[in-house]
């Protein structure tokens, strides 16, 4: 599973990345977590609200700081 | 006095203005520290601080909740789709209107700018949206009503929208819109739409927005209320009147220029505005200050600079400042129409 966190470096983007890492660790699953800050790459997903979470190429959430519990629901 | 007037006054003074809270805190301070302290300089300053802090906090939480619920129906993807169907002044008008209801945080301003541009929206329309979004805030409307009454609040919204429409249109018509960074247009217009939220999800979203907004702006409110309390009780009215009063011809320009580098949430500027007004500053001067603080700020310039060129950024700042100054003078000139 490849999880991408799209964000421009704002506080919520960093918090979301931390929550995703925690969720992956707690569930003990195999996942590659990648932070995307490049605006061109972010726009290629059609996302206008940050932070966003993309799992295996699919946009799962936009403009929401998901808690680690909420993140788990998307795995 | 008619029944309607009485109901209107009750809403303005007791529900929005929370006069009962003011009286309650006044009595409490008197009871705890005695009459001479309560009516002294510090007693009154503390009274003003506690009253304003609680009042603004309560109104803010209530408003953010309601507004977030409405905003959950207008994500930027939807706004983009609606706006791309209109052209010319109608697109600017709609852009300014949707700017007031589309949830907007500064970290999303660049993706929104790029997304709108790639969807074929003209730069002028995007600017109408970007000007009105921080300027005409529905929460600010209700707070303004609680301090200055309906007519001022309503007029603030109307002139704010006009500023957004005219500002965007000028950028459009003068051809300044082409001065954007090339990478903005180099890419396809892609739209993803999330699943439609349920009522429960909208309510949870509203609650989360309320809590995070309160946490974010509470510091601004405290600082704003402290400055307000100081102005309210420690600075002589004659000073403020001579610098910011309607009779000083330069007051509006001072207020606008001072407001540009200051970055604060509209909820933090309102207690300052309230205190300045009570001390004799002109109504137009105060509105100019508020508009300048909320719309023009260093962080937003730095953001915008990533997507537009200097020429457009400086024109944007110039146009908005000129608009705010005109609005300020108009309000000072017509003040007698609003405040009885």
Complex-level ipTM beyond the 0.90 threshold: no
Contact B243, B282 (CB under 8 A): no
- B160-183: pLDDT as tens digits: 999 999 999 999 999 998 899 888
Residues whose CB falls within 8 Å of the CB of residue B330, separated by 6 or more in sequence, listed in order: B159, B284
Q: Which of A43, A61, A64 sits opposite B115 (nearest CB)?
A: A43
Look at A46 and B187 and tell me if their CB atoms are within 8 Å: no
pLDDT tens readout for residues B117-165:
999 999 999 999 999 988 887 667 777 777 777 788 888 889 899 999 9
Backbone torsions φ then ψ of A2, nearest 5 degrees:
-110, 120
- Confidence band of B334 (pLDDT split at 50, 70, 90): confident
Which residues of A fall within a CB distance of 8 Å from B191? Answer: 46
Site of tokens 């403020």? B240
Is B76 in contact with A61 (Cβ distance < 8 A)? no
Return mean pLDDT, chain A.
89
- CA distances (Å), origin A56, targets A34, A73, B204: 11, 15, 27
Distance (Å) from the alpha carbon of B240 to chain A's nearest alpha carbon: 39
DSSP string, B37-84: HHTSHHHHHHHHHHHHHHHHHHHHHHHHHHHHHHHTT--HHHHHHHHT
What does the alpha-carbon distance between residue A54 and residue B294 come to, in Å, rounded to a whole number?
33
Q: Which of A13, A52, A54, A71 is catalytic?
A: A13
Question: Domain locations in chain B?
Answer: 3-338
Exposure class string for B69-96: b at 16+ Cβ within 10 A, else e: bebbeebbbebbeebeeeeebebbbbbb
Structure confidence by residue, pLDDT tens digits, B20-37: 888 888 888 888 887 777
Q: Name which of A60-69, B260-269, B297-306, B314-323 the model is least confident about.
A: B260-269
* A32 phi-psi bin (left φ>0, alpha ψ -120 to 50, beta other): beta
- Chain A residue numbers with beta carbons less than 8 Å from the beta carbon of B74 are none
Tokens 């908005």 correspond to what residue? B320
- Considering only CB atoms, which chain A residues are within 8 Å of B105? 10, 63
Substitution target in B183, B192, B204, B216 with the highest count of A β-carbons within 10 Å is: B192
- pLDDT for B340 beyond 50: no
Instruction: Quickly name the fold that domain A2-72 has.
Output: Glutaredoxin (3.40.30)
Query: Using one digit for the tens of pLDDT, what is the confidence trace for A7-41?
Result: 887 788 889 999 999 999 999 988 999 999 888 88
Mean pLDDT of chain B: 84
- pLDDT (average), residues A31-58: 89
Residue-wise pLDDT tens digits, B244-270: 777 788 889 988 988 887 776 677 777
* CB contacts, 8 Å: A7 with chain B: 107
What tokens were used for B101? 């209801």
CB atoms within 10 A of CB A11: 12
Higher-confidence position of B115 and B195: B115
* DSSP code per residue over A48-69: -SSSEEEETTEEEEES----HH
Quick one: chain A helix, strand, coil %, rounded to 5? Answer: 35, 25, 35
Q: In the structure encoding, which two tokens stand for residue B323, read together?
A: 């608009």
For residue B167, CA distances in Å to B140, B159, B320 come to 21, 12, 7
DSSP-assigned letter for residue A9? S
Quick check: B192 contacting A, CB < 8 Å? yes
pLDDT surpasses 60 at B339? no
Buried b (16+ CB within 10 A) or exposed e, B142-166: bbbbbbbbeebbebbbebbbebbbb
**pLDDT of B309 above 90:** yes
Residue A11's contacts (CB-CB under 8 Å, 6 or more residues apart) are none
Instruction: For tokens 């109504």, name the residue.
Output: B283
pLDDT at B104 (0 to 100): 67
State how far the Cα of B12 lies from the Cα of B211, in Å rounded to an integer. 25
Q: How far apart are CA B144 and CA B121, in angstroms?
A: 32
């Amino acid at each position: 599973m490849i999880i991408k966190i799209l964000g421009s470096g704002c506080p919520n983007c960093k918090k979301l990345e931390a929550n995703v890492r925690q969720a992956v660790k707690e569930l003990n699953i195999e996942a590659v977590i990648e932070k995307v800050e490049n605006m061109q790459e972010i726009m290629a997903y059609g996302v206008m609200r940050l932070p966003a979470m993309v799992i295996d190429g699919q946009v799962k959430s936009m403009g929401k700081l998901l808690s680690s519990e909420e993140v788990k629901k998307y795995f | 006095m008619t029944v309607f007037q009485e109901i209107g006054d009750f809403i303005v003074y007791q529900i929005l203005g929370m006069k009962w809270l003011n009286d309650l805190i006044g009595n409490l301070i008197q009871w705890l520290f005695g009459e001479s302290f309560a009516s002294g300089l510090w007693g009154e300053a503390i009274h003003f601080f506690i009253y304003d802090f609680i009042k603004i906090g309560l109104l803010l939480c209530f408003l953010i909740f309601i507004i977030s619920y409405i905003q959950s129906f207008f994500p930027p993807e939807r706004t983009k789709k609606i706006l791309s169907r209109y052209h010319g002044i109608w697109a600017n008008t709609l852009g300014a209107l949707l700017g007031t209801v589309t949830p907007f945080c500064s970290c999303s301003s660049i993706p929104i700018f790029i997304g709108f541009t790639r969807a074929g929206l003209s730069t002028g329309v995007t600017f109408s949206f970007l000007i009105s979004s921080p300027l005409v805030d529905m929460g600010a409307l209700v707070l303004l009503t609680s301090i200055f009454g309906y007519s001022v609040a309503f007029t603030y919204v109307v002139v704010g929208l006009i500023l957004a429409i005219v500002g965007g249109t000028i950028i459009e018509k003068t051809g300044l819109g082409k001065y954007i960074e090339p990478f903005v247009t180099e890419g396809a217009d892609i739209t993803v739409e999330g699943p439609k939220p349920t009522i429960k999800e909208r309510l949870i979203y509203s609650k989360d927005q309320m809590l995070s907004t309160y946490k974010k702006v509470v510091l601004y409110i405290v600082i704003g209320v402290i400055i307000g309390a100081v102005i309210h009780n420690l600075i002589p009215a004659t000073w403020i009147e001579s610098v910011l009063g309607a009779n000083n011809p330069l007051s509006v320009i001072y207020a606008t220029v001072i407001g540009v580098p200051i970055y604060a949430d509209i909820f933090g500027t309102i207690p300052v505005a309230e205190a300045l007004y009570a001390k004799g500053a002109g109504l137009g001067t105060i509105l100019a200050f508020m508009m300048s603080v909320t719309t023009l700020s260093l962080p937003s310039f730095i953001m915008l600079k990533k997507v537009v060129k200097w020429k457009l950024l400086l024109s944007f700042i110039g146009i908005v400042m000129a608009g705010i100054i005109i609005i300020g003078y108009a309000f000072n000139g017509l003040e007698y129409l609003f405040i009885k």
